[in-house]
Amino acid sequence: METFAEGLEQDGDAVRAALTSFWSNAQAEGQITKLKLLKRQMYGRASFDRLRRRVLLTV
C-alpha cells in the first residue's frame, strides 16, 4: 500500500489532471472491452476472416 501511495505522490500532477479533467475515454474503453470479449470468444474456433466479419458486424 505504501508503494502505491508513493507512486501516486510521484505522479501527483498526472493524477490531479486525470481527476479534474472534463475529458473522458469511456467510449474508447468500452469499444476496446467489446473487441477483447469477441476475440476471446472466437479464439481457436475460427479463422481471422470470420473474426473480422463478426467484429465488423457488431460494431
Instruction: For residue range 1-59, list pLDDT tens digits in order.
Output: 889 888 888 998 888 888 888 888 888 899 899 888 888 888 888 788 888 888 888 76
Task: Quote the cell numbers at residue 55.
Answer: 467484429
pLDDT of residue 3: 92
CA distance 25 to 16: 16
pLDDT of residue 59: 66
Query: What one-letter code names the amino acid at 31?
Result: Q
Domain ranges of the chain: 2-58
In the block, cell 498526472 appears at: 14
pLDDT of residue 37: 87
Helix (H) or strand (E) holding 40: helix 26-42
